[in-house]
Chain A
Amino acid sequence: QLQLQESGPGLVKPSETLSLTCTVSGGSISSSSYYWGWIRQPPGKGLEWIGSIYYSGSTYYNPSLKSRVTISVDTSKNQFSLKLSSVTAADTAVYYCARLGGVRGIAAAGTGWFDPWGQGTLVTVSS
Chain B
Amino acid sequence: EIVLTQSPGTLSLSPGERATLSCRASQSVSSSYLAWYQQKPGQAPRLLIYGASSRATGIPDRFSGSGSGTDFTLTISRLEPEDFAVYYCQQYGSSPNTFGQGTRLEIK
Residues of A at the B interface (CB closer than 8 Å) are 37, 46-49, 52, 60, 62-64, 96, 100-102, 108-120
Contacts and interface: CB of A to CB of B under 8 A. Distances in A.
B88 interface: yes
Contacts of B95: 60, 108-111
Interface of B: 1, 33, 35, 37, 43-47, 50-51, 56, 88, 90, 92-102
B98 A49 contact: yes
A47 B88 contact: yes
A48 B97 CA distance: 8
A102 B99 contact: no
A96 B37 CA distance: 14
Given A46-B102, A102-B92, A111 B44 contact: no
8 contacts: A64-B96, A108-B33, A108-B93, A108-B94, A115-B50, A116-B47, A117-B44, A118-B44
Closest 3 CB pairs of A and B: A115-B47, A117-B44, A113-B35
Contacts, number: 70
B8 to A, nearest CB: 15
A90 to B, nearest CB: 17
Contacts of B45: 47, 96, 114, 117
A26 to B, nearest CB: 14
A46 B97 contact: no
B75 to A, nearest CB: 19
B92 A112 contact: yes
B88 A120 contact: no
A52 B95 CA distance: 11
A119 B42 CA distance: 9
A76 to B, nearest CB: 26
Given A118-B44, A120-B44, A113 B102 contact: no
Given A46-B102, A47-B99, A102-B33, A114 B88 contact: no
A101 B49 CA distance: 12
Nearest to A49: B97
Contacts of B100: 46
A109 B44 CA distance: 24
Contacts of A119: 43-44
